[in-house]
Amino acid sequence: MNNKIAEDLKLAMKSGDKFKLSVLRMLKSALQLESISKKHELSDDEVLSVIKKQVKTRKDSIEEFKKYGKDEEVAKLEQEIEILNAYLPEEMTEEEIIKVIDEVFNDLKPTSMKEMGMVMKELNTKITNADMSLVSKLVKERLS
């Protein structure tokens, strides 16, 4: 994973794609910071985790910029997310997520919002490539 990102960084440099180059440099530095804090070379799963954090940060920023009508910034962040998403596995669809939620609800049979933590813990082990805020929203709707 690290090698692919480094290779894409070189290609962006050679092609003169300054925007993609800046996004990949930000990603590379986030990966280096994580590697330094963990004191070892990052595994592919850890790299994916860092990329997911970067995407989440940008999605949160988009929400803030939308509140203040900063459309240029929103468009820029959406482009950055698009570049970062190229390194992530395809996300589960809402239908696939609902199927997994159904399975967990059948197994655990939760009855109130107090059991949301238990449900989410179980879902975290079964759902790896989905927007967890959507998962959380679907579980809340189901429990209420």
φ/ψ of residue 33, rounded to 5: -60, -45
Residues 46 and 108 in one domain: no
* pLDDT score recorded for residue 114: 92
The two tokens of residue 69 are 């009508």
* Same domain as 8, residue 48: yes
Q: Is the separation of the CB atoms in 134 and 94 below 8 Å?
A: yes
Question: For the chain, what is the total number of helices (H) and then of strands (E)?
Answer: 7, 0
Q: Are residues 8 and 72 in the same domain?
A: yes
List the CATH number of the domain containing 130: 1.10.10
For 7, the token pair is 């290779």
Q: Which residues of the chain have pLDDT under 70?
A: none
8 and 49 in a single domain? The answer is: yes
What does pTM read for this prediction? Answer: 0.78
Domains: count for the chain: 2
**Nearest partner of 34 among 17, 24, 46, judged by Cα:** 46
pLDDT number for residue 129? 81
Residue 100, classed as helix, strand or coil, is: helix
pLDDT of residue 144: 85
Residue 72 class from Cβ within 10 Å (0-12 exposed, 13-18 middle, 19+ buried)? Answer: exposed
State the pLDDT at residue 26: 97
Q: Which domain holds residue 81?
A: 2-85
Tens digits of residue pLDDT in 121-132 = 999 999 878 888
pLDDT of residue 133: 85
CATH number of the structural domain spanning residue 12:
1.10.1510.10
* Pair (22, 74) in one structural domain: yes
Within this chain, do residues 100 and 135 fall inside the same structural domain, yes or no? yes
Residue 119's CB is within 10 A of a number of other CB atoms, namely 22
pLDDT for the residue 19: 96
- Choose one of 36, 58, 85: the last residue of a domain: 85
DSSP state of 93: P
Check: CB of residue 142 under 8 Å from CB of residue 105: yes
